């Protein structure tokens, strides 16, 4: 048997591995320079998704892992700076072209594009790509329904995608429940909260869990404002008195205590507007 160093196939494969590693190394250097010196040109080194796939020389998983890390870095940098995500859609497109079965990328990407980038069409497009590439997985169609329900407020479409998700192999009962909720209730804070809670409990990604928690806090604030507003109306109708503060509700026995604002603020009765509102406190993500 000839020694391994005489084997042409070995050297071809070794050369490709070294070439791929070199591309990753030099691309990383370029990224760091671009991020530090030319923020407006970030990620222009990423070509078309299909070109990137061809350039990976079959090492799709290696490149997709690298791009995943860069995507998280890119998102994190802009969260704490300008909150502009010009290349986020493109990065997730490249990532999911290299690894079409990366379910977390479809789910997380759709959430970020709709919640942070406010780009619901891009989020829907990414989720649709996930459905096309993974026809037996329930998650992409569920996240597509999630985006339509929570962000687009398109409850008919949300019900459609939830229903499709519920019919996928090994789907839990959750998509079926939300299909019924979306069809029956429309804009409903309790259902929205339940969706975010499900996402929070099922996710192992810290950033995704933090995002879910922030929306749970926002919804809880709205629910408390609604609850206190109902108590205020009841007080004024029954007592035939103008409410001066939320403390009046406690003194009259309508409340035991004023709820704590989950966003870190404080609930007050605005006599000039005749409604309950929240004074902003320290921002909680």
**What percent of the chain has pLDDT above 90?**
36
72 pLDDT more than 80: yes
User: At residue 45, what are phi and psi to the nearest 5 degrees?
Assistant: -75, -15
**10-62 confidence digits (pLDDT tens):** 444 544 444 444 444 444 544 454 444 444 344 444 555 454 554 444 445 55
Percent helix / strand / coil, the chain, rounded to 5: 70, 5, 30
Which pLDDT value is given to residue 71?
82
CA-nearest of 173, 185, 174, 178 to 160 is 178
- 72 token code pair: 């998280």
pLDDT score of 82: 84
Q: Which two tokens stand for residue 70?
A: 């860069």
Please state whether the predicted TM-score (pTM) of the whole model is above 0.75: no
Contact 122, 152 (CB under 8 A): no
Segments making up each domain of the chain, as ranges: 37-219, 220-279
Q: How far is the C-alpha of 150 from the C-alpha of 215, rounded, in Å?
A: 10
Confidence class for position 186, pLDDT limits 50, 70, 90: low
User: What's residue 280's pLDDT?
Assistant: 80
Q: In this model, does residue 195 exceed pLDDT 60?
A: yes
Averaged pLDDT, 74-92: 86
User: Max alpha carbon distance in the chain (Å)?
Assistant: 101
pLDDT digits (tens, 9 = 90+) for 218-239: 889 999 999 999 999 999 999 8
CATH classification code of 37-219: 1.25.40
- Nearest Cα residue to 137 out of 98, 113, 102: 102
The neighbour count for residue 61, using CB atoms within 10 Å, is: 12
- Identify the H or E element spanning 189: helix 189-202
């Amino acid at each position: 048997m000839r020694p391994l160093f005489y084997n042409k196939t070995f050297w071809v494969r070794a050369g490709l591995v070294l070439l791929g590693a070199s591309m990753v190394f030099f691309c990383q250097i370029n990224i760091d320079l671009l991020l530090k010196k030319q923020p407006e040109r970030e990620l222009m080194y990423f070509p078309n998704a299909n070109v990137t796939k061809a350039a990976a020389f079959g090492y799709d998983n290696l490149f997709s892992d690298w791009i995943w890390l860069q995507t998280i870095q890119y998102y994190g940098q802009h969260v704490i700076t300008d909150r502009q995500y010009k290349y986020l859609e493109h990065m997730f497109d490249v990532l999911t072209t290299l690894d079409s079965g990366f379910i977390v990328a479809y789910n997380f990407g759709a959430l970020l594009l709709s919640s942070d980038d406010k780009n619901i069409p891009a989020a829907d497009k990414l989720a649709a790509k996930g459905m096309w590439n993974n026809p037996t997985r329930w998650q992409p169609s569920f996240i597509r329904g999630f985006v339509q329900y929570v962000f687009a407020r398109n409850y008919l479409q949300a019900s459609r995608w939830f229903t499709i998700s519920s019919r996928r192999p090994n789907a839990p009962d959750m998509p079926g429940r939300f299909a019924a909720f979306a069809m029956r209730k429309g804009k409903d804070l309790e259902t929205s909260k339940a969706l975010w809670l499900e996402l929070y409990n099922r996710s192992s990604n810290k950033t995704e869990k933090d995002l879910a928690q922030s929306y749970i806090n926002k919804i809880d604030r709205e629910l408390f404002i609604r609850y206190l507003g109902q108590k205020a109306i009841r007080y004024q109708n029954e007592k035939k008195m103008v409410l001066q503060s939320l403390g009046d509700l406690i003194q009259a026995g309508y409340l035991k205590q004023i709820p704590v604002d989950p966003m870190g603020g404080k609930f007050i009765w605005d006599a000039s507007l005749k409604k309950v509102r929240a004074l902003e406190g320290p921002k909680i993500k």
